[in-house]
């Protein structure tokens, strides 16, 4: 039955940028269920900032497709969650509105860029949340906050209304405290949308079994290599052993393209960001430019004031990669390396059903710990391959190190989201 609820959260972790004190909900499969929405997803009549000064006060005139689906399902959308500005970061510290804190240890980050969504769920401020994942932005905070997060197959959830960062990589997905919650939310948001040219007609119906007998699990040696905390690796290997005890078979394999995956990802995403963020020019979007100055001067000043340091850095890197004389040297090579990642996945999936490994190389960082951009970029090494290939991947909690959660990442073939969700459910049931 339709209704209204009063929502006044104790948001001590700064999970939200905007909250809705009076929340309406309708009839449907999510009737009255509280859902938090990442602040780069358009919500009609509700401020949507991408955690950037340049969009402060922007009120979209329409709902993103996923938001319309949530409303039609009766969900109670309680607010817009904090994030790394325009999705560029791994900690949710790159927000113009201040960092989000990890609910499990407020001296640590919640991960990013969907850190506010993960923190809202982990802190009990919302039952479910929507995030977006360009290079790990759902799975990273899910791992750091000890919840479940799914990056669906590219195209399975409409991106209409998602404010673009890197179109060929990003995907909207569900976050929840357990696999059942993720499946429930995914069943609402998955499906075809004619307004998204990359959308495919693949709806999802919840229903999974904990029986994984005969399942072949590929374990790439590169997922446990240099830079991975040995304690994290041990926790994940124990999780894989737990799956074996339930009838699965672990198979060692290799993914040589991993050595080029991170570079391919950052060249691709910054190049696409350079193009996408050009629209924030003070004419189409962003605060109006100073008309008494030359257009070039006003444009430069407006973007310098409106964008944060990390966003400016990535725009510059992307513009350089696409510049005449450098396009072939960087962008084209990145696309060749991206195809190598796809080829590795196709080769491995001829012999196994899913791939397993750590979601992140380490546990949640301390606030301010990753001040060097390169060190921050390196932390994405295990999540970016799935985005480069467009395959589905899920993070499910699998133990802890120093009292902080570790994430088990399960990766599947294109459009086999059901299989990785079922495997995550089987693991979850086995450890409860």
Annotated catalytic residues are 38, 113, 137
**Could you give the CA distance from residue 328 to residue 232 in angstroms, rounded to a whole number?**
38
**Could you give the CA distance from residue 251 to residue 330 in angstroms, rounded to a whole number?**
35
- Are 387 and 409 a contacting pair, CB within 8 Å? no
Torsion of CA 16, 18, 19, 22, to 10 degrees: -170
The closest of 139, 134, 132 to 169, measured between CA atoms, is 134
- What's the DSSP call for residue 190? B
Q: What is the DSSP string of 303-347?
A: HHHHS-HHHHHHHHHHHHHHSTTTTTTTHHHHHHHHHHHHHHHHH
CB atoms under 10 Å from CB of 169, counted, come to 22
The closest of 34, 68, 85, 70 to 310, measured between CA atoms, is 85
Q: What is the DSSP string of 101-132?
A: PBTTBTTB---SSSHHHHHHHHTTS-SEEEEE
The residues that bridge with 176 in the sheet, in sequence order, are 128, 148
CA distances from 266 to 102, 285, 311 (A): 26, 25, 13
The residues that bridge with 77 in the sheet, in sequence order, are 35
Query: Between 309-322 and 258-276, two packed helices, what is the crossing angle to 10 degrees?
Result: 100
């Amino acid at each position: 039955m339709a209704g209204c609820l009063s929502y006044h959260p104790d948001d001590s972790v700064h999970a939200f940028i905007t909250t809705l004190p009076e929340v309406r909900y309708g009839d449907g499969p999510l009737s009255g269920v509280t859902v938090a929405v990442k602040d780069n997803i358009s919500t009609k009549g509700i401020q949507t900032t991408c955690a950037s000064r340049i969009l402060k006060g922007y009120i979209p005139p329409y709902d993103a497709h996923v938001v319309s689906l949530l409303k039609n399902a009766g969900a109670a959308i309680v607010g817009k969650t904090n994030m790394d500005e325009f999705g560029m970061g791994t900690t949710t510290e790159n927000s113009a509105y201040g960092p989000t804190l990890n609910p499990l240890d407020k001296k640590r980050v919640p991960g990013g860029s969907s850190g506010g969504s993960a923190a809202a769920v982990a802190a009990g401020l919302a039952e479910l949340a929507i995030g977006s994942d360009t290079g790990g932005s759902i799975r990273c905070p899910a791992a750091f906050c000890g919840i479940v997060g799914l990056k669906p197959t590219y195209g399975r959830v409409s991106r209409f209304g998602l404010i673009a960062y890197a179109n060929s990589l990003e995907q909207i997905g569900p976050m929840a405290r357990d696999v059942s919650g993720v499946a429930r939310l995914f069943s609402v948001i998955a499906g075809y949308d004619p307004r998204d040219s990359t959308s495919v007609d693949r709806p999802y119906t919840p229903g999974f079994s904990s029986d994984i007998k005969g399942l072949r699990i590929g374990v790439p040696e590169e997922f446990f290599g240099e830079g991975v905390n040995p304690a994290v690796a041990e926790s994940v290997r124990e999780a894989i052993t737990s799956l074996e005890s339930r009838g699965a078979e672990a198979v060692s394999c290799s993914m040589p393209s991993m050595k080029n995956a991170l570079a391919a990802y950052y060249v691709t995403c910054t190049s696409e960001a350079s193009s996408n963020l050009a629209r924030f020019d003070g004419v189409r979007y962003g605060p109006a430019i100073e008309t008494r100055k030359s257009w070039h001067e006003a444009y430069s000043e407006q973007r310098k004031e409106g964008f944060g340091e990390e966003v400016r850095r990535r725009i510059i890197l992307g513009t350089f990669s696409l510049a005449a004389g450098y396009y072939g040297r960087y962008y084209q090579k990145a696309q060749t390396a991206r195809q190598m990642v796809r080829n590795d996945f196709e080769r491995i999936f001829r012999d196994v059903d899913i791939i397993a490994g750590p979601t992140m190389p380490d546990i949640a960082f301390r606030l301010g710990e990753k001040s060097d951009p390169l060190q921050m970029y390196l932390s994405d090494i295990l999540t970016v391959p799935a985005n480069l290939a467009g395959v589905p991947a899920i993070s499910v909690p699998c133990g802890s190190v120093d009292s902080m959660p570790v994430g088990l990442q399960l990766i599947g073939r294109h459009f086999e989201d059901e299989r990785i969700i079922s495997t995550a459910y089987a693991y979850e049931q086995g450890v409860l």
